[in-house]
Structure 1
Amino acid sequence: MDHRPRRQALIASILRRQHVESQDQLQAILAEQGITVAQATLSRDLRALGVVKGPSGYFLPDQPGPLPAYEPGALARTLGMFVRSVDVGGNLVVLRTGPGHAQIVALELDRSPPENILGTIAGDDTIFIAARSENRAQQLAESLRRNAGLDSALHGVGA
């Protein structure tokens, strides 16, 4: 019998009701409810539900209410942990991350947007950031590179 739908519904319910900081914590909460799940299965369930993990814990992207409270320094920490490159093309800044990390970075950008960002679009390992102008895109890219601890040499998409 496939218990996945019930387990995923319970995970979603837990994440809507309480703050969860780690998969270990979520496993323990599930165990209290009589559900034993392997870490790999839990990771697949979280991915299937579209759950996002930010510096302050896990949450569903459609979760009502405000985003978790902003933590000073969270953007720089997140950029430093996950961003592999920053490139510019016109008024777009393109960030590359490892697989599965773009949503985390985009979440932090959206929570504490540096000035000059019109919006972000994140895939699995790429984030497109629309800046107000080409000049501001260059400035934003430099700031993001600096915060990510990357080489400050300018890069252009396709260069």
Structure 2
Amino acid sequence: MKISRQNKILDLINRYDIETQEELAEWLMKEGYNVTQATVSRDIRELKLTKVAVDGGRQKYISIHKTEPGMSEKYTRVLREGFVSMDMAQNILVIKTVSGMAMAVAAALDALHLENVVGCIAGDDTIMCAIRTAEDTVKVMDKLNKILKNAE
């Protein structure tokens, strides 16, 4: 739940100019997360969020952390070094890896706890992930591309 909530926080601060912890808590509640101000405060600290000035003398939260919550440097490195390509067929995401790396990359994917990923099966150089819908598959691909881009 914590990783899901922290992913939602990153999503919200990227979409909206959120200025206070209370405002962030309200957005999280609208999204179905029952949170307290103390929980939001801990999440902000763990995510290493900071505030920057925006127009009109206001401030907003931004992330200065390059990797996603729950992702250690080890998993980021495994994803970056093992990843070759990815493609989709409806709600199936197929990820090609360096030979012998599929299991390690699949373990790194599991550590992400991505929403709407039902499960992944890994062979020697191929991973097949079942995603809830084709639309969700596109979102998962975007998220993985963002992680891979930030890992460079």
TM-score of the pair, normalised by structure 1: 0.46
TM-score by length of 2: 0.48
Structure number with higher helix proportion: 2
Task: Look at both structures and tell me which one has the larger radius of gyration over its CA atoms.
Answer: 1
